[in-house]
Structure 1
């Protein structure tokens, strides 16, 4: 049923828009001044965060298609709070259809030209394929595939997107965290970093560890997660979920703007293990009094075990890399999700730490390799080139090397990164294409994660 009735004027406009979308054009038209968003089955809070900001080139009316239930209600509630906040309120006009045929209805009506997806990952790959088949652009939350069968369907989706001249893209927010950005930039400097080392299985050249928490606060409120988030057949195991970000960062920083392929990947070892939740913890984060039937196979003696942790050791073009994701229930007081990263160069290691010493804020360090007496002067000179790209950053000498000091203007926070990804995607839509390396590297990324899961199981 239609949850929000349209005014006569709005309905007329919608009918006109639908007529335009259902003409002989088989691909989404982005030649007009405004993009028109369709939000499909928003079951994850990342859908809300994409609308925490407004965009000059995006129509304020958003068309939502979803099954009836608490997830779409939660999404709409958060968007309404963004609309009604005192500082920089948004002006989204949500037109919502809820019904069992929501997907078929969206594909038949196509009132917009860009489909946003952030929700149940078991259904997502099918949503992606059917949307690009229908000539719609897709901006999808990660992961776009959670197993080998999903990966095969995703490859078909990329072929269909190419055929229909639409852009399929995933939301890689971690590229916009300033320490990750600067780590990549410094690694491109031969004077500062030298050459990326090959590393070994025991000491990878590139390593990334991400720690997440089931209970957290988003936009100032305690996050309520759907029960299916704890079902790995619907959410995906940790080894194919958060690791998507980590594998992406390794490709992006180690081989910038280079086309990669699955043949460049050699998975060495993998492992997976569970995080255990008590009934009271499950209730706190889901607001449910009991485990739903689909979780009973993961419950023993009232404890829910979730395969949310994983590790992949692999080589990429001969470079040893490691990614590890860990899920705890709740962060220590004053902390949150954390990230550790090291890139080993012939002249220096570039390390991101985010522990208690850093007050749980990511900090980037440069630690020289060896005892080259001329390195400090060479670093100071080469750093000026990076500083020109990011005015205000500076170096601070410490006992181990140098810390890169970053002004607050660059530390916008994780939630703001969603708008940065969206704006970059809109640039690509205007250009009518993604960078040459993006699609093959997305395929390589999901090959890595889904093959690692197969090996781990």
Structure 2
């Protein structure tokens, strides 16, 4: 396929990472594995504080672990002028950024202006003003042959991969229906929790995480993954344009956090002053929930995200998705019945069981050996996915990093990646604008 950002005429460089103001645990997760083409020295530019300490502790934990320890060497430049320091010293060629989402686009724009590639945690932007800056950053990156890429871990989740694969087999799926706002062609919903365990430890969230002006509202944050999956599954490898998106309806609502709950998840003893704007009767109102209905190239899509304080005992974050075809529905559930493991179901609308069987036992075996099929009831099947494919959220970070490194080495990205990132952030920020009207 035609490529953009052709950098293949430059000498092969090693990737040297500069981690800027790592304020989210995702900044550390990409270092859970090492990569042959990445320099083991990582340059960290950050203000002092608990977030930096957490990042350093996380990487030190990877270096010290018993099983296949990493060997990262961190070179630290601490202080409030971390951005200026990174730009003036420039010891690396790729900036990694994960943290406060309100200023992320300014970090990104500065990096691109100074000739640096950018590998950034989602969301790149959290409002329409940020979106306009992002368009300019992509424009400049293209002129300078620089990569600007966001970390889309969910494309590596096996049930989403197989939902996409099955939707591309006309004998089983037919084609994606147009749907309606009440019955969309493609639905993605996810439920998250403020309090949870990561790498076996209770996750301590920074207090700015609960300020939607800094972290972004729910409708522009987690939805980034869901909107991305919709584009990736419904229009695989197709170049999309913002004119393909029609936002129909969007809404937002708050989750209430008591001071007790806030203390549990942040370790702080009281609400910080900057959250006063969101406190009613000593209860914090966090606008972390949202829902959007839109069409993409005429296909109806629905995305929703909900944040609760804590999952019930034994439960976890959940994901629900449905793709409706003319011949079958492909449904992902991740509830109690599935032991909170994403599980793919197929509902046949006709009698194409033979085609489904052949797809799983023959067509997909080469790429995904070991897949099976369990009949549940008439026309209802569960796809049996061997455990080894369920690598988990944390492992997806090394998979998406490997993808970025592949793009870096080849000097280009497939031509749909950048336009579709632009469409994705246009969609999320447009939904927020409409939800606030």
TM-score normalized by the length of structure 1: 0.92
Relative to structure 2, which stretch is displaced further, 375-384 or 406-415? 375-384
The 5 Å alignment of 1:302-317 reads: 302-317=282-297
2:369 aligns with 391
1:90 aligns with 70
Query: Residues 28 and 113 of structure 1: is their aligned pair in 2 closer, same or farther, counting only changes over 3 Å?
Result: farther
Instruction: List per-residue Cα deviations over 1:332-374 (Å, max 9, x = no partner).
Output: 11111110000000110000000111111110011011xx34x
Answer 1 or 2: higher relative contact order, Cα 8 Å, separation at least 6: 2
Aligned pair count reads 428
Instruction: List per-residue Cα deviations over 1:186-236 (Å, max 9, x = no partner).
Output: 100001111000000110010010000000111110111111000000000
Instruction: List per-residue Cα deviations over 1:137-184 (Å, max 9, x = no partner).
Output: 100000000001000001111011111111000000000000000100
Q: Does 2:31 correspond to 1:51?
A: yes
Q: Does 2:328 correspond to 1:348?
A: yes
Between the aligned partners of 2:119 and 2:43, the Cα distance in structure 1 is: 15
Query: Residues 351 and 30 of structure 1: is their aligned pair in 2 closer, same or farther, counting only changes over 3 Å?
Result: farther
1:17 aligns with none
1:3 aligns with none
Counterpart contact for 1:28–1:135, Cα < 8 Å: no
Counterpart contact for 2:8–2:410, Cα < 8 Å: no
2:192 aligns with 212
Counterpart contact for 1:191–1:382, Cα < 8 Å: no
Q: Does 2:111 correspond to 1:131?
A: yes
2:143 aligns with 163
Counterpart contact for 2:320–2:333, Cα < 8 Å: yes
Counterpart contact for 1:28–1:166, Cα < 8 Å: no
Counterpart contact for 1:387–1:394, Cα < 8 Å: no
Query: Residues 420 and 125 of structure 1: is their aligned pair in 2 closer, same or farther, counting only changes over 3 Å?
Result: same
1:197 aligns with 177
Moved over 6 A (4+): 27-30
1:41 aligns with 21
Between the aligned partners of 2:202 and 2:355, the Cα distance in structure 1 is: 48
Counterpart contact for 1:186–1:386, Cα < 8 Å: no
Between the aligned partners of 1:31 and 1:223, the Cα distance in structure 2 is: 42
Query: Which of 353, 366, 371 lines up with 1:376 in the alignment?
Result: 353
Instruction: List per-residue Cα deviations over 1:388-422 (Å, max 9, x = no partner).
Output: 22111111111251111111111111000000000
Q: Does 2:408 correspond to 1:424?
A: no
User: Cα distance, 1:112 vs. partner?
Assistant: 0.4
User: Cα distance, 1:131 vs. partner?
Assistant: 0.3
User: Cα distance, 1:32 vs. partner?
Assistant: 4.3
Query: Residues 193 and 418 of structure 1: is their aligned pair in 2 closer, same or farther, counting only changes over 3 Å?
Result: same
**SS state at 1:139 partner:** strand
Aligned CA RMSD, in angstroms, stands at: 1.3
Between the aligned partners of 2:242 and 2:46, the Cα distance in structure 1 is: 35
TM-score normalized by the length of structure 2: 0.96
Counterpart contact for 2:8–2:412, Cα < 8 Å: no
Between the aligned partners of 2:195 and 2:355, the Cα distance in structure 1 is: 45
Between the aligned partners of 1:29 and 1:135, the Cα distance in structure 2 is: 16
Between the aligned partners of 2:333 and 2:63, the Cα distance in structure 1 is: 36
2:253 aligns with 273
Counterpart contact for 1:273–1:307, Cα < 8 Å: yes
Between the aligned partners of 1:179 and 1:425, the Cα distance in structure 2 is: 22
Q: Does 2:432 correspond to 1:448?
A: no
Counterpart contact for 1:213–1:337, Cα < 8 Å: yes
Between the aligned partners of 1:50 and 1:103, the Cα distance in structure 2 is: 21
Query: Which of 240, 263, 287 lines up with 1:260 in the alignment?
Result: 240
Instruction: List per-residue Cα deviations over 1:239-290 (Å, max 9, x = no partner).
Output: 0000000000000000000000110000000000000001010001100001
User: Cα distance, 1:307 vs. partner?
Assistant: 0.2
**Unaligned regions of 5+ residues in structure 1, if any?**
1-26
**SS state at 1:191 partner:** helix
